[in-house]
Amino acid sequence: MTSKKELPDDLAKFRDTYVELFGHLPPLPAARFEFSGEVNPEFLRLAEKLREHAFYSDVFDLKTTHLILFGMLLVEHNPAAQMHALAARRAGATWQELHKVIELASATGSLGPANQGSAMLKTLRDKEQGS
């Protein structure tokens, strides 16, 4: 992996935020820093500025941000969800809060087809009835 000495200071600081969040640098960001840091550091810089802007705001605290990310990635069946659960825990989330996110994701996941299917069938019925 690229050492901190090989990255410009601003990119090294971005990389350090992953260690602060997760306790280590996860493999996917590590690969991005190593590869993009060498091939196109400006792209890496822009991507990390976008991440910084989205993840660190005055709208949500860090715990809430990572609870939201956990839920979003959980719905997508994305293994990165686990890392955001870890970040949420490190930011103070309780097991009950994390489980509530699972409950919300489960409810919206199972109700989605019911909502979509009902709306489709209503549209078909309305057309059939000439309404």
HSE-CB for 93 with a 13 A CA cutoff: 25
- Each domain of the chain, given as residue ranges in start order, spans 6-56, 59-131
H/E segment holding residue 120: helix 95-128
pLDDT tens digits for 89-128? 999 999 999 999 999 999 988 888 888 999 999 999 999 9
Assess whether pLDDT exceeds 80 at residue 25: yes
What would the DSSP string read from start to end of 41-77? HHHHHHHHHHHHHHHS-SSS-HHHHHHHHHHHHHHTT
Assess whether pLDDT exceeds 70 at residue 20: yes
Determine how many CB atoms are found less than 10 A away from the CB of residue 103.
Answer: 11
Local confidence band at 1 (pLDDT 50, 70, 90 cut-offs): very low
pTM as predicted:
0.79
